[in-house]
Structure 1
Amino acid sequence: MSATASGKFIDDETYSRIMGFVAGMFSGVAKNTVGHPFDTVKVRLQTSQGTGMFNGPLDCVYKTLKHQGPRGLYLGFTPPLVGWIAMDAALLGSLHNYRMLLHKYMYPEYEKLPLSGCVISGVMSGWTVSFIAAPVELAKAKLQVQYGPQTTKYKGPIDVIRKVWAEAGIRGLYKGLVSTLIFRSNFVFWWGSYELITQWFKKHTNMRDPAINFWAGGLSASFGFWTTAYPSDVIKQVVLCNDKCDGSFRSWRETATQIYRERGIKGFFRGFVPSFLRSFPANAAALAAFEFVLRTSGAKPS
């Protein structure tokens, strides 16, 4: 049994379920602090296709620093800071809970949740967090693509939400939901590779758990997830930032067709370098923080 702040006791399973969400909050802080500048460059490259505004990631960084200073790399920082805390709490908290539920009811004969259970729980957690992620990523993306005084339509994340709501209601806030669900379906590769890499390190190295979590988190995010999920992320960002001339929304299929028609296959990998570079340190730090909080809290492992 574990004690709460009020002095009452809860069972270990309930305590572990709660701590999954708490650990996810720490993960969100770590991820956003490390990864946001990379994400800003990625989004600007993704959404400026065909404009000639940037010649590549380094040119984007140079022009951003020249015209906006370091603050330019952290535009839109607040919604993902708050959002990543909420999203990682939902993502990793639900992941931890789904793992516990699958282990208890679908794989009770296993001492540890098998790879199939890790994959299923990963995809389910991705779909769960999508309902929080869609409006958060909308606000973040619309702020990040504001470049120059002529494009400062939004003053901040609350202003984005307010104006989008006024123009299109809740449908406007969730116009990227389908794209977000498709994008996060690629979590099958992330959590599957995370489990495989973790087990490999435990079997073939003498590294401690924090180091294993760091390296497994970074490698699985970079090579397992982003190399497979990136094209759907490009489509998602364009859906979030570009509407039709009549103010209606482009569908996932329309956007994918538009990108291919204008840029070909390479259009689906615009901004890949900063995204790939960001994915390792941001997710390595995030998963190391998540697993560390779970271990030190004494939560029941999934």
Structure 2
Amino acid sequence: MSAALKNQSKVPSELVDAPEQSKSPKNYRGFVGGVFSGIAKLSVGHPFDTIKVRMQTTDKSHFRGPVDCLMQTIRNEGVKGLYKGATPPLIGWMFMDSLMLGSLNVYRRVLNDNIFHPARYPGEQQKKLPVVGHAMAGVMAGWTVSFIAGPVEHIKARLQVQYAAEKSKRQYSGPIDCLKKTFNGHGIRGVWHGLSATLLFRTFFCFWWGSYEVFTQALNTNTNLSAPAVNFWAGGMSAQIFWLTSYPSDVIKQRVMTDPLGPERKFPRWRDAAKAVYREQGWKGYWRGFVPCFLRAFPANAMALVAFESVMRALPE
């Protein structure tokens, strides 16, 4: 990023609307930044995610609540049990974060240049993309990354609901074994099982990136916070807005992804899973496991964005 841009704005380097961004080679920087973003997100957030998935995919007879789920997991499987299924998201998030931020930036420029503020004459000063444009770009980036996120989250979910402490008693010995068995038994469609539910879930990225822009503008205007602090608070608060709006769709997605494949399959469509959740637990079923998810949302996503932006600022352009 140029010195002028650093002085003019606290907005993250990869998410800025300025046309100058397209002139600097960012490919390797985005990849490296995505690695550190994925590591930060996994380290802080995966134990919460494991509790969330287990709460979402079981009834009350299995776990009385998130604390009981946490204690049973540690008692029966040790701390390592909280990191079951961690390898797929660690690898996947390297690519997912890079694809998400890269496509988000592209969609923002395309929307601004062609929909919201098309140039009427050469040299015209470009106006900033409005909040609704950021929300639209968020949806489009969410759909784009879904084609990577779907298989990653599918494998992760199946590993997270293996409750046996001994590896020999588990259906899958690890992510590669899970991927191989899924592909050998059900082909490409089996690996991408739950893609429609994933697309539904990531449609709610409009709330994440729309609110992120609102919070970023408010913090830049009304505070003297440093760039990392703005990244942290805007990233954390917008993540919580996202989960407040999207959580029921995530419950549905997890039920679909942990549904048996083959003849035993219960939910041919995500709508069938949605109906089953309501039939079994009523409206409360759509919010089962929300507490660990909400607790995870702020620190995991705030630190991921801080890590990503810190690496981006540190690396030479």
With the length of structure 1 as denominator, give the TM-score of the two structures. 0.89
Structure 2 distance, partners of 1:100, 1:24, is 21
| Distance in 1 separating the partners of 2:142 and 2:160 | 23
Please point out which of 208, 212, 216 is paired with 2:234: 216
Contact persistence 2:259–2:265 (CA under 8 A)? no
The residue that corresponds to 1:31 in the other structure is: 41
Cα distance in 2 for residues equivalent to 1:98 and 1:24? 19
Partner of 1:49: 59
Shift of 1:194: 0.4
The superposition leaves residues 124-181 of structure 1 with CA deviations (integer Å, 9 ceiling, x where unpaired) of 1100000001111111000000012596101000111111111110111111100000
Alignment check: 8 A CA contact 1:22 1:93 kept: no
Following superposition, the deviation at residue 261 of structure 1 comes to 0.4
Once the two structures are superposed, the pairs formed by residues 130-279 of structure 1 within 5 Å of their partners are 130-148=146-164, 152-222=170-240, 224-243=241-260, 246-248=263-265, 250=267, 251-279=269-297
Deviations 1:236-288 (A, max 9, x none): 00000013782346110100001100000000001000000000000001112
Task: Give the one of 96, 113, 123 matched to 2:129.
Answer: 113
Aligned length: 289
SS at match of 2:38: helix
User: CA distance change for structure 1 residues 172 and 162 in 2, over 3 Å: closer, same or farther?
Assistant: same
**Percent of pairs identical after alignment?**
53
CA RMSD of aligned residues (A): 2.2
- Residue 55 of structure 1 aligns with an amino acid whose one-letter code is R
User: Which residue in 1 is equivalent to 2:81?
Assistant: 72
Secondary structure class of the residue paired with 2:263: coil
Q: Deviations over 1:198-251 (max 9, x none)?
A: 1111111111111011011001101x1000100000000000001378234611
Q: Which amino acid in 1 is paired with 2:92?
A: G
- Matched-pair contact (CA < 8 Å) for 1:175–1:249: no
Q: Please state if 1:62 is matched with 2:71.
A: yes
**In structure 2, distance between residues paired with 1:244 and 1:157:** 17
| Alpha carbons 2:146, 2:199 under 8 Å: kept | yes
Residues 113 and 24 of structure 1, relative CA distance in 2, 3 Å threshold: farther
2:272 alignment partner, SS class: helix
C-alpha distance in 2 between matches for 1:103 and 1:253: 35
The answer as to 2:98 corresponding to 1:89 is yes
126, 141, 146: which is aligned to 1:125? Answer: 141
- Do the aligned residues in 1 keep the contact of 2:107 with 2:141 (CA within 8 Å)? yes
Structure 1 Cα separation of the partners of residues 30 and 72 of structure 2 = 41
| Letter of the 1:118 counterpart | H
Equivalent residue for 2:17?
A: none
CA offsets, 1:106-131, max 9 Å, x none? 43554433212211211111000000
- 1:294 and 2:312 correspond: yes
Matching residue's letter, 1:144? Q
Gaps of 5+ in 2: 3-19, 119-124
CA shift for structure 1 position 289 = 2.0
Cα shift readout 1:76-132 (whole Å, capped 9, x = no counterpart): 111111011121121122112322333444435544332122112111110000000
After superposition, residues 96-107 of structure 1 pair within 5 angstroms as 96-106=105-115, 107=117
- Asked if the contact 1:20–1:97 (Cα under 8 Å) also holds between the matched residues in 2, the reply is no
Q: Cα 1:249–1:159, aligned 2, differ >3 Å: closer, same or farther? A: farther
Task: Give the AA of the match of 1:48.
Answer: T
The amino acid that maps onto 2:56 is Q
